[in-house]
């Protein structure tokens, strides 16, 4: 589908400036074509959650498939001192990387690469900013939405956040990510157009305030939308004015036309009390089929509390705290080199060292493998293997904590699945992008594969992400080698 967010043909300068300065340096030093491996991964789940959801791959693919430099780009860069040699390289730029990714909608965990890039260092380095910008944002919103949808316990959640998002892209692509993770639809019209996502919306308080009285406002709306009448009832007084006028509209306007009042929405006040009273009033008036929707700064915690308190709510409209992931608005993905190839094609592991154990990276060209319990179908653990290792095939397999190696567990009666799919082969797109509906349905199945304990909001069970013995030994040997270097041994 073409459109503003799917057909951007010149995003080459969506990059931090140092990617370009390093590119010139690689070219000057004769290293531009050196083959390297980069991993895009994240270190912690937002809000101390138990899992995250991979999202944004479609936009990454669109970016990579259209990566080129226009003459306007080159003229602009020339002003910053880049010489003719580097400018000419960019002028004839042709994407030549291999790219693997975990599909959108997959539940993912810290330290496992979501995207893996192999290619000339001058190209692989250039991709960092766009990949992180896209995957970090949409994965953040998808993860937040999954929490909110879980709290709603089967009640539809509509994404209502466009006006509070941090800019155009955030509103549209955030709504896309929310739909992948289970939102029933969006209020953002252009997102509905671009991605074929259901739209929702009826009236604002301004509609009601335009008329001389509330009933006349409801009557006019019902006459315009007799099959879709959902009335906003908290402009003045929910129980003394809004609900009585909604009932009157149902009886005097809609029912004579053979129509029913679809629902009411409450956007303020004590939502538990208001919805309980509203439900009784509607039921007593013979409107038991009239649905109650609530909005107003909702998140998973408030939704959970409302339901536990017995609020009579059929659906939720969630805006600012979803579209901004207000409680923790940063996903924190990073892009680090993991290996280089020598002149003979041998893969040489590379690793970032840090005093902070959380920032020590895992070397090598890797494969992510998920283990499933055959008895329950639930995911048991993920293990990172060196790419050329044989993958276990049902025999008992011991996993262990990479940092606290005495913590171990033997997996039995399992099935394994490699998570990566190849997206680009030597710069050529070889992946058939799934539809938004296919991604959403896949995400639902992925969430169902997790134990409830992993999906808790507070103190979730920590899902195992371990290293194979071979990969652990490579990493451990490199750490010991670094220690000896520091000691001057």
**pLDDT of 3 higher than 80:** no
Rounded to an integer, the average pLDDT of 146-155 is 98
Percent of the chain surpassing pLDDT 90: 93
Strand pairing report for 157-159 and 315-318: parallel
Decide which of 178 and 357 is more confident. 178
Residue 13 pLDDT more than 70? yes
pLDDT in tens, 158-170: 999 999 999 999 9
What is the pLDDT, as a whole number, of residue 275? 98
Q: Edge-to-edge, what's the strand order for the sheet holding 414-418?
A: 414-418, 366-373, 379-386, 464-467
pLDDT for 127 beyond 50: yes
pLDDT at 4 over 90: no
Q: What is the pLDDT of residues 82-114, one digit of tens each?
A: 999 999 999 999 999 999 999 999 999 999 999
Residue 309, pLDDT score? 98
Determine the pLDDT at residue 2: 44
Q: What is the pLDDT of residue 104?
A: 98
Q: Taking residues 213-225, what's their average pLDDT?
A: 98
The class of domain 142-323 in CATH terms is alpha beta
Q: Structure pTM?
A: 0.95
pLDDT recorded at residue 5: 45
pLDDT for res 154: 97
Half-sphere exposure of 402 (CA within 13 A, CB side): 26
Task: Find the largest Cα–Cα distance for the chain.
Answer: 92
Q: What is the pLDDT of residue 206?
A: 98
Query: Is residue 293 classed as helix, strand or coil in its secondary structure?
Result: strand
How far is 347 from 367, CA to CA, in rounded Å? 14
Q: Which residues are within 8 A (CB) of 15 and not within 5 positions of it... i.e. 6 or more apart?
A: 126, 128, 129, 130
Provide the token pair at 295.
């909005």
Question: Where in the chain is CATH 3.20.20.70?
Answer: 142-323
Distance CA 297, CA 161 (A): 10
Mean pLDDT for the chain?
95
pLDDT, tens only, 358-385 = 889 999 999 999 999 999 999 999 999 9
Residue 205 CA to residue 226 CA, distance in Å, equals: 19
Residue 483: predicted pLDDT: 74
Give the per-residue pLDDT at 1: 40
The pLDDT of residue 486: 61
Confidence category of residue 485, pLDDT binned at 50, 70, 90: low
């Amino acid at each position: 589908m073409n459109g503003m967010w799917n057909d951007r043909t010149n995003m080459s300068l969506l990059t931090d400036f140092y990617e370009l300065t390093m590119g010139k340096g690689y070219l000057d030093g004769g290293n531009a074509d050196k083959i390297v491996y980069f991993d895009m991964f994240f270190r912690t789940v937002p809000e101390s959650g138990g899992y995250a959801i991979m999202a944004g791959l479609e936009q990454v693919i669109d970016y990579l498939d259209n990566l080129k430099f226009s003459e306007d780009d080159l003229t602009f860069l020339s002003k910053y001192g880049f010489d003719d040699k580097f400018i000419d390289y960019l002028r004839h730029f042709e994407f030549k990387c291999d790219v693997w990714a975990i599909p959108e909608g997959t539940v993912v965990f810290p330290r496992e690469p979501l995207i893996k890039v192999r290619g000339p260092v001058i190209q692989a380095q250039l991709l960092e900013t766009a990949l992180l910008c896209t995957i970090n944002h949409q994965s953040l919103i998808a993860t937040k939405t999954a929490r909110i949808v879980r709290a709603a316990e089967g009640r539809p959640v509509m994404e209502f956040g466009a006006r509070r998002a941090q800019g155009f892209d955030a509103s549209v692509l955030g709504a896309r990510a929310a739909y992948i993770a289970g939102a029933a639809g969006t209020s953002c019209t252009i997102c509905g157009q671009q991605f074929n996502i259901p739209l929702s919306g009826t009236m604002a308080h301004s509609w009601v305030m335009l008329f001389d009285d509330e009933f006349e406002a409801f009557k006019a709306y019902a006459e315009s939308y007799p099959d879709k009448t959902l009335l906003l009832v908290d402009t003045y007084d929910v129980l003394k004015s809004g609900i009585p006028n909604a009932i009157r509209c149902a009886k005097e306007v809609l029912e004579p036309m053979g129509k029913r009042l679809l629902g009411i929405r409450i956007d303020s006040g004590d939502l538990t009390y208001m919805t309980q009273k509203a439900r009784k009033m509607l039921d007593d008036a013979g409107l038991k089929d009239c649905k109650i929707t609530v909005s107003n700064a909702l998140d998973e915690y408030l939704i959970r509390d409302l339901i536990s308190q017995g609020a009579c709510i059929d659906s939720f409209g969630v805006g600012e705290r979803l579209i901004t992931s207000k409680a923790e608005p940063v996903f924190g993905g990073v892009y680090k080199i993991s290996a280089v190839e020598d002149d003979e094609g041998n893969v040489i592991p590379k690793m970032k060292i840090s005093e902070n154990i959380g920032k020590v990276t895992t070397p090598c060209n890797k494969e992510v493998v998920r283990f499933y319990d055959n008895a329950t179908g639930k995911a048991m653990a993920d293990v990172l293997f060196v790419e050329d290792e044989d993958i276990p095939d049902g025999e008992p397999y011991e996993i262990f904590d990479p940092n606290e190696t005495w913590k171990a567990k033997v997996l039995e009666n399992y099935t394994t699945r490699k998570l990566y799919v190849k997206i680009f082969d030597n710069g050529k797109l070889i992946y058939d992008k799934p539809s938004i509906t296919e991604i959403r349905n896949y995400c639902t199945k992925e969430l169902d594969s997790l134990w409830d304990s992993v999906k808790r909001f507070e103190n979730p069970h920590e899902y195992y992400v371990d290293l194979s013995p071979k990969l652990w030994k490579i990493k451990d040997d490199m750490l010991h080698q670094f220690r000896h270097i520091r000691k001057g041994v």
